[in-house]
Amino acid sequence: MPRLKIHHKTEYRYARPVAFGEHRVMLRPRDGHDLRVLDCKLDIVPEPMRLRWIHDVFGNSVAIATFDERAPRLTFTSEMTVEHNPEDEFALTADDPAYFYPFLYDNNEFPDLLQFVTPNYSDPNGELSAWACNFLDEDAPTPTFRILSGMTHGIRDSLTYRGRHERGTQHPLDTLQTRSGTCRDYALLMIEALRRLGIAARFVSGYLFTGEDAGHLGGGSTHAWVQVYLPDAGWIEFDPTNGITGSRDLIRVAVARDPVQAIPLHGTYLGPAEAFIDMKVTINVISLDREQEMEAGV
């Protein structure tokens, strides 16, 4: 399996020493048959009074840090090594129950998928629903992969990627109307559109391995994309920012019903608002195998 090394550092700077509230850290990749964590280290300065790990409602690994020391800086440095064996791009056959849309979920699975089928955001004039229906063939049924691939590439090709400094994720209607957004905005737009078609979709936060491909977007920080659940195929990755289908170059950290449930790092400080100077995030994802080849002169 290809090995990747992930370096993630977040530094908060303040004009004077401040006290820190609880911080939740969601940076450890999710282990699975296509992704195995070989090493994971988290260094926090100042050292927290207590650091504990939990699994959240979705099974994501979350570190919770509490502090008893004031400081003018707070840094979180995560070093992780993973084995990444991306799945080949999936293909449905005519014998698969989800080959054509519309399709039905198994009665035993649907209760567990209900939260991922139910839209979370308003669509008072039906704009999201109408946009989603644009990816259906005029004469039903439509091959399901055509819908998913069309929406993935349609977002990438018709919207303009725009970095935002504001916290959070914008409403899908704002993304649709402004024709622009971040990777998190793109993912949420696709999720809500698919849910209006009755297709189970959830939000994924993680890292993007850019390698030597300068064409990838959204890799300067943590990245976000979509997982879609199909009968007999399971959860399949789609990255509407880069037009990626499958888990190639995508390193999962957290899955969630809504983006607010998969924030990589967040917390509070106790002090005046003007004490905050800035936050700096540095992320690098490198191939250890390629690095060793270069050191060996290959």
Domain ranges of the chain: 3-84+262-295, 100-248
Contact 60, 26 (CB under 8 A): yes
Helix, strand, coil share (%) of the chain residues, nearest 5: 20, 40, 40
Which amino acid is residue 4, in one-letter code? L
Q: pLDDT per residue over 9-20, tens digit each?
A: 999 999 999 999
Q: pLDDT per residue over 189-217, tens digit each?
A: 999 999 999 999 999 999 998 765 545 66
Query: What is the CATH class of 100-248?
Result: alpha beta
Q: How confident is the model at residue 87 (pLDDT cuts 50, 70, 90)?
A: confident
In terms of pTM, does the model score above 0.95?
Answer: no
Count of CB atoms situated within 10 Å of the CB of 88: 8
Residues of 26-65 as b/e, b for ≥16 C-beta within 10 angstroms? bbbbbeeebbebeebebebeeebeeeeeeeeeeebbbbeb
Residue 91: what pLDDT?
A: 75
Nearest to 245 by CA among 147, 162, 160: 147
Instruction: Give me the DSSP letters along 196-232.
Output: HTT--EEEEEEEE--TT-TT--S-SS-EEEEEEEETT
Compute the average pLDDT of residues 80-84. Answer: 95
Phi-psi domain of 19 (left: phi exceeds 0; alpha: psi -120 through 50; beta: other) = beta
| Residue 298 clears pLDDT 60, i.e. is over it | no
- Across the chain, mean pLDDT equals 91
Contact 185, 179 (CB under 8 A): no
Contact 128, 190 (CB under 8 A): no
CATH among 3.40.50.10800, 3.40.50.880, 2.60.40.2250, 2.40.170.20 for 3-84+262-295 = 2.60.40.2250
